[in-house]
Amino acid sequence: MVVRTLADAAPDEVRFAELGRRMPGVSQKMLSVTLRSLARDGLVSRRVEPTVPPRVFYRLTGLGLSLEAALAGLRTWAEEHMAEIDRANDATDRELAEG
Amino acid sequence: MVVRTLADAAPDEVRFAELGRRMPGVSQKMLSVTLRSLARDGLVSRRVEPTVPPRVFYRLTGLGLSLEAALAGLRTWAEEHMAEIDRANDATDRELAEG
DNA sequence: CGGCATCCCCCACGATACTG
DNA sequence: CAGTATCGTGGGGGATGCCG
């Protein structure tokens, strides 16, 4: 049985610490700063649950979802061509080593 | 009558200074550095005409053209939503001013 | 003309410590 | 837990000068 209370997160909401876990190498400070600027730009929304300790949930807004969609195309391009770019880089390395 | 010699640029080739003119605010140094990294990644090709003074032509490779296409979607998103983002920013400004 | 080399400044970011 | 505050630094990038 699934129980949902007022304290539960919506399926598309993510808490601060969970975001940090999902992005290894991103410092707490940069996560905080970046989330603030994203919220300021209306790309993410922030919901604070007034408990002790507080829980904060982030989610993409409609605008944020539309950017995610636009970014998907670029991500696909990167995945398809990363190897080719690496080869070009390696070729340059070899030329510099020889010449 | 149109005359084409060996010294002419192909239609899709652009010279260094012309690129600079097309990108106001981009310093000569950053243009040079960026072109080098793009060439290294195989996104642009570089053709030097051995005259005095030399003329250097840049053009997008096939890979570069494919990235340009992938970027077009993102550019469209930006043009469509820039105003909305500015409004979100202004709204935040007003909230901070009020209190 | 089309750079590269040098100097220099600034700030983006990490590390650490503290707090409601 | 979810941040802010503070300090220190690496390197991104501008300005200038030189060169083939």
pLDDT in tens, A13-41: 999 999 999 999 999 999 999 999 999 99
Q: Which CATH architecture has domain A2-98?
A: Orthogonal Bundle (1.10)
Cross-chain CB nearest to A77 (options B66, B77, B87): B66
What is the structure's pLDDT at A5?
53
pLDDT in tens, B61-79: 999 999 999 999 999 999 9
pLDDT band at B95 (very low <50, low <70, confident <90, very high): confident
Distance from residue A26's CA to nucleotide D19's C1', rounded to whole Å: 43
What is the structure's pLDDT at B67?
97
Of A36, A39, A68, the C-alpha closest to B88 is A39
Residues of chain A with pLDDT under 50: none
Q: Cite residues whose beta carbon is less than 7 Å from strand C.
A: A 25-30, 33, 53-54; B 15-17, 28-29, 32-33, 35-36, 46, 53-56, 58
Of B67, B73, B81, the C-alpha closest to B38 is B67
Residue A86, CA distances (Å) to A22, A93, B12, B59, B92 in order:
26, 11, 25, 20, 42
pLDDT > 90 in chain B, percent? 78
Nucleotide nearest to A31 (CA to C1'): D3
Q: Do A70 and B89 touch (CB under 8 A)?
A: no
Orientation angle between helical segments A62-98 and B62-98, nearest 10 degrees? 140
What is the structure's pLDDT at B3?
52
What is the structure's pLDDT at B19?
96
Three-class DSSP category at B59: strand
Please report where in the chains the tokens 């398809």 appear, as a residue.
A80
Of A82, A75, A79, the C-alpha closest to B41 is A82
Distance from residue A48's CA to nucleotide C7's C1', rounded to whole Å: 49
Three-class DSSP category at A84: helix
Distance from residue B5's CA to nucleotide C14's C1', rounded to whole Å: 56
**B64 touches A88 (CB < 8 A):** no
Would you tell me which residues 26-45 of chain B have a C-beta closer than 8 angstroms to some C-beta of chain A? 40-43
> How many of the other CB atoms lie within 10 Å of CB of B13?
15
**Is residue B6 predicted with pLDDT exceeding 70?**
no
Interface membership of B92 toward A (CB under 8 Å): yes
Q: Do A74 and B71 touch (CB under 8 A)?
A: yes
pLDDT in tens, B49-64: 999 999 999 999 999 9
